[in-house]
Amino acid sequence: MPASVRIAPVWLIHLALAVGGFAIGTTEFATMSLLPFFAADLNIDATAAGHAISAYALGVVVGAPVLAILGARLSRRKLLIGLMLMFAAGNALSGLAASYTQLLVFRFLAGLPHGAYFGVAALVATSLVPQDQRTRAVGRIMLGLTVSTIVGVPVANALGQLVGWRAVFGIVAALALLTALLAWRLAPRDAGDPAANPLAELAALARPQVWLALGIGAIGFGGLFGVYTYLADTLLAVTGASASAIPFALAIFGVGMTAGNLIVPRFADRALMPTAAGLLAWSAISLALWPFAAGQYWTACLAMLAIGIGGALGSILQTRLMDVAGDAQTLAASLNHSAFNAANALGPWLGGLAIAAGFGWTSTGWVGAGLALGGLALVLVSIALERGQARALSPQL
């Protein structure tokens, strides 16, 4: 960028990008708590209403690679603005849905820009800081999502009860428009590459380390989602907590995620993959303790705090994908959130199987610990493969 071009302070750009993360986190997590309201309004049962969550997740999985490839020639600033406008439209239409079918379609459309936005935002954020501060930069962007679990979700749930679920999607749409405006005003005015070959982005998929990083996210993160999905039921059936005590436990989980994204990236910037291994070991232990902690409310909250810290894995893998993707930066960075939505499907599904098999609500902790160990195994494979390649390339003594 020419020296004459002035840009906003780095912290302000990071904050602007985090607003988009807050909007995305609010609609992703709050929709789960709004299921009873739009189920009643649209005259559908709870199971059918849950498909709206699946439709959004499917949109994330599909949209991340497709939009990354289609946007390969655009400047990152323009891509950020376009993605947030698309996200705003999808949520505004969700709030206006007149039928169950329309809601499913609009939730799918709202999910399309999710992964691509986080991927491009991470690339912009890391381009503004030194090499040894990249994971911290990604962590700041992810703070928008984690803070949404503390503030956005409870507020959205309260608004849903007070003025209706449609208003929540409208507010999310307004936040998305605000993010688009902030990106237009503050994001660096980079030039696109008209000569870029969009299909060249697919080259990232030929790299084993890219698949390993995606596998770490899809498997290692599954346990966290498995426990979180059934948290309310576990607190009611096992802990004996009242319904009014559930929001605090959900907020404690969000506090853990926020703390993790503030603390863990500092270690990751020094030793990325060893930090990933340590964090997954932490997750395996904290998830394994969940069946023992769930009996008392205060120990359950402590366990959720510890489990939430494991959410910092997202920032680590975002940086890892940028390291191993070569020239296909946008696609690889965007696919990170496809992997986490795969985890969001895998963890609850396996946890549900354990519960249905009669192992009880707390069996999600054992399932989660196993998934975390699976992610840890992939980290060790990735490290071993990288070291083997380094030895092969080094001159023979």
Instruction: Assess whether 190 and 233 both reside in one domain.
Output: no
The model carries a pTM of: 0.82
Instruction: Report whether pLDDT(336) > 70.
Output: yes
**Mean pLDDT (the chain, rounded):** 87
- 39 and 180 housed in the same domain: yes
265 located within any domain:
yes
Indicate whether 158 and 236 sit together in one domain: no
Q: What percent of the chain has pLDDT over 90?
A: 45
What is the pLDDT confidence band of residue 1, given thresholds at 50, 70 and 90? very low
346: pLDDT strictly greater than 80: yes
Top-ranked range on mean pLDDT: pick from 81-85, 195-199, 389-393 = 81-85
Domain boundary among 141, 176, 196: 196
d(CA 308, CA 310): 5
pLDDT exceeds cutoff 80 at 192: no
The per-residue pLDDT for 33 is: 67
Query: Quick one: DSSP state of residue 350?
Result: H
- Same domain? For 239 and 290 the reply is yes
More confident residue, 334 or 378: 378
> Which amino acid is it at 330?
T
Indicate the SS3 state at residue 138. helix
Low-confidence winner among 209-213, 338-342, 378-382 (lowest mean pLDDT): 338-342
Amino acid at 286: S
188 and 245 belong to one structural domain? no
Distance CA 229, CA 248 (A): 15
Statement to judge: residues 115 and 205 lie in one domain: no
Statement: residue 32 has pLDDT above 50:
yes
**pLDDT tens, residue by residue, 133-183:** 889 998 898 888 888 888 887 788 778 778 888 998 999 999 999 999 999
User: 210 and 189, same structural domain?
Assistant: no
Q: CB of 336 within 8 A of CB of 214?
A: yes
Residue 68: C-alpha distances to residues 21, 294, 330, 336 (Å): 18, 41, 6, 12
> Quick one: DSSP state of residue 199?
G
What are the residues whose beta carbons fall under 8 Å from the beta carbon of 235, sequence distance 6 or more?
241, 245, 246, 249, 294, 297, 300
Quick one: 179 and 210 in the same domain? no
Question: Quick one: 343 and 247 in the same domain?
Answer: yes
Task: Round to whole Å and give the CA distance between 308 and 336.
Answer: 18
Q: Judging by beta carbons within 10 Å of its beta carbon (0-12, 13-18, 19+), is residue 155 exposed, middle or buried? A: middle
Q: Do residues 228 and 293 both lie within one domain?
A: yes
Q: Is residue 345 part of a domain?
A: yes
- pLDDT at position 363 is 94
Whether the predicted pLDDT of 242 surpasses 50: yes
Tokens read off for 96: 């206006």
Q: Is 378 a domain residue?
A: yes
The answer on pLDDT for 396 being more than 60 is no
Residue-range definition of the domain harbouring residue 329: 200-397
Are residues 118 and 257 both part of a single domain? no
Dist. CA 134–CA 87, nearest whole Å: 26
Pick the last residue of a domain from 173, 196, 219. 196
Give the helix/strand (H/E) hosting 125: helix 100-126
Amino acid letter, residue 303: A
Residue percentage of the chain with pLDDT more than 70: 93
Closest C-alpha among 328, 323, 312, 382 to residue 126: 323
Q: Residue 287 falls within a domain, yes or no?
A: yes
Does 55 reside within a domain? yes
Whether residue 2 lies inside any domain: the answer is no
Which of these, 202, 179, 223, lies nearest to 328 by C-alpha position?
202
How confident is residue 5, by pLDDT bands cut at 50, 70 and 90? very low
Query: Is 320 in the same domain as 352?
Result: yes
- Residue 155 in domain: yes
Model confidence pLDDT, tens digit, residues 282-331: 999 999 999 999 999 999 999 999 999 999 998 899 889 888 887 777 78
- CATH code at 129? 1.20.1250.20
Count: domains in the chain: 2
Q: pLDDT at position 170, please?
A: 93
> Does residue 163 fall inside a structural domain?
yes
Domain end point (choices 154, 169, 196): 196
Per-residue pLDDT at 150: 85
Look at the chain and count its residues. 397
